[in-house]
Amino acid sequence: MPDTIAAIATPPGEGGLHIIRLSGPDSLKILKQVFKPATGKSVETITGRRATMGTFNNPDSGDLLDTGLVTWFPGPRSFTGEDVVEISCHGGVLVSQGILQVLLHCGSRLADPGEFTRRAFVNGKLDLTQAEAVTDLIHAASERARTNALSHLQGRLSKKLEGFYDRLLGVLSHLETAIDFPEEGLEFNQKNKMRCDVQQVSDEITRLADTFKQGRIVRDGLKVVLVGKPNVGKSSLLNALLDEDRAIVTPHPGTTRDVLEERIKLKDLHLTILDTAGIREHPESIEEVGIARTRRALEQADLALVILDGSQTLDDDDRRLIEETKEINRCAIINKSDLPQTLKTDNLSASLKTEKQISLSAKIGEGLDRLKDHLYGIAAGGNLARESLIITRERHHQALTRSLESLKQVCQSLEEDQSEDLIAVDMNSALEILGSLTGKDYATDLLDQIFDDFCIGK
């Protein structure tokens, strides 16, 4: 039988109020030792799902700890599926910690990170994708991330995955019937229909898996690296995007020696902008360290803004940079448009292999809105509709990709008229992988990995 856990559910620090949670079979029994309803009646008379005013007291000394509200949620109609008590007390750190310590002294245990949500999963109140959506919702840094996390929490992704699972399970049932009754066998047209059904599900899984690249950006933000040779205006552009003097700007090459990372908000989305050390052929020794970090930042970038000086012609450092970033999604930024232009941009698109060029002046702000619109378009997903179902977690993407490998083998075996036993092995593998997404099939270490990312009290 599970024990009773307790934790402060609100962030640490001072505030208007703090919330303390209890969950488990002894929640009401423990509360009875600490709480006295203002009505003078016993704790057992508290009506479920209604706030009750009263005082919190130390049962040993009788000292008053605080006055506040208690709400009791009888299981199984609660978040965790167990008896849950939520205490609303004044938001002082000492107040909430004092009440929590008394609750622990009276028989509860301090909850592990994510343990409330983990119990909700174990008790069938939500599946794993919904559990992950809880923490995604808490940490959402943009409106798009919030609405997507809320969509997952409401079960939209779960429903899609359940649909895949049930359709494939139907195919497997036909296979197992043929295995159990070999005299019946599967006719050619039956196998052909199975292959078509499996291929249709595979196509839908592929479309969902393909949303991960954009989904990761929605969840974590677009990572943009400013790259260029020294003194082309990378730091000036960072300051212009931030609308503050965050990076040091001087006329001397090599001023930026490290990667400077900042977050900006464009409408309802967040972006991470990285200002980097200028790349040139013969850097000073300390610059070499910064350039190495620039290259590592490029490897992790969603987009590289290749910054060129419009007041100068291309030199060897520019050409070397263009070659070095050829495998990266990039956009050419022609900076210093406030100066007479010398750079010939006619053949620039061909050498950069990108049609997108934005001319601007980081110094006076000319063209900055065009750049922001371009960045927002990439971060928002281009043609991906806002209401589209997208996946945002690497775990989901890997599982979908692995299931596709098994389903590809199923289709191939059906086409080659392989035995039903062999086909069923791959089909079971695909179902097991899909089941791990929602928690139909799971290992304890998977739960540990997921819920360790949660805060205590959630």
Query: Between helices 444-451 and 115-122, what is the axis angle to 10°?
Result: 140
User: Which amino acid appears at position 5 of this protein?
Assistant: I
Query: Residue 223 pairs with which residues in a beta bridge?
Result: 272
Q: What is the pLDDT of residues 131-185, one digit of tens each?
A: 999 999 998 888 888 989 999 999 999 999 999 999 999 888 888 877 776 655 5
Does 224 carry a binding-site annotation? no
Q: What is the pLDDT of residues 32-88, one digit of tens each?
A: 999 999 999 999 889 899 999 999 999 999 999 999 999 999 999 999 999 999 999
Q: Quote the pLDDT of residue 230.
A: 84
Q: In the chain, how many H helices and how many E strands?
A: 16, 13
Class of domain 130-211+391-451 as given by CATH:
mainly alpha
Does 155 carry a binding-site annotation? no
Does 129 carry a binding-site annotation? no
Q: Quote the pLDDT of residue 347.
A: 65
Does 88 carry a binding-site annotation? no
Cβ atoms of 152 and 133 within 8 Å: the answer is yes
Residue 358 CA to residue 380 CA, distance in Å, equals 19
Does 436 carry a binding-site annotation? no
Does 117 carry a binding-site annotation? no
This prediction's pTM: 0.80
Does 256 carry a binding-site annotation? yes
Question: Which structure tokens are listed for 326?
Answer: 């050829």
Does 139 carry a binding-site annotation? no
Please tell me whether residue 65 adopts helix, strand or coil conformation: strand
Does 362 carry a binding-site annotation? no
Does 397 carry a binding-site annotation? no
Burial of 68: CB neighbours in 10 Å, binned 0-12, 13-18, 19+: buried
Does 125 carry a binding-site annotation? yes
Closest to 244 measured CA to CA, from 259, 262, 270: 262
pLDDT tens sequence for the chain (458 residues)? 689 999 999 988 888 999 999 999 999 999 999 999 999 999 988 989 999 999 999 999 999 999 999 999 999 999 999 999 999 999 989 999 999 999 999 999 999 999 999 999 999 999 999 999 999 999 888 888 898 999 999 999 999 999 999 999 988 888 887 777 665 556 656 778 888 999 999 999 999 999 998 898 888 888 999 988 888 888 888 888 888 766 555 554 555 556 788 888 888 778 888 888 777 665 555 566 677 788 888 888 888 899 998 888 888 888 888 888 888 888 889 999 899 888 877 767 666 665 578 999 888 889 999 999 998 888 876 555 566 899 999 999 999 999 999 999 999 988 887 888 888 899 999 999 999 999 887 666 667 777 877 777 77
Does 435 carry a binding-site annotation? no
Query: Residue 109 pairs with which residues in a beta bridge?
Result: 5
Residue 122 CA to residue 279 CA, distance in Å, equals 53
Please tell me whether residue 113 adopts helix, strand or coil conformation: coil
Domains of the chain: which residue ranges? 5-111, 130-211+391-451, 221-380
Q: Quote the pLDDT of residue 63.
A: 94
Architecture of domain 5-111: 2-Layer Sandwich (3.30)
Cβ-Cβ contacts under 8 Å for 239 (sequence gap 6 or more): 245, 246, 247, 249, 362
Does 29 carry a binding-site annotation? no
The Cα-based distances of 258 to 275, 295, 305, 346 in angstroms read: 8, 11, 17, 33
Cβ atoms of 438 and 215 within 8 Å: the answer is no
Does 235 carry a binding-site annotation? yes
Length, in residues, of the chain = 458
Does 330 carry a binding-site annotation? no
φ, ψ of residue 231 to 5 degrees: the values are 70, 25
Query: Between helices 212-220 and 394-415, what is the axis angle to 10°?
Result: 170
Q: Which residues of 338-377 are buried (b: 16+ CB within 10 A; e: fewer)?
A: beeeebeeeebeeebebeeebbbbbbeeebbeebeebbee
Q: Quote the pLDDT of residue 99.
A: 96
Q: In CATH, what number does 221-380 get?
A: 3.40.50.300
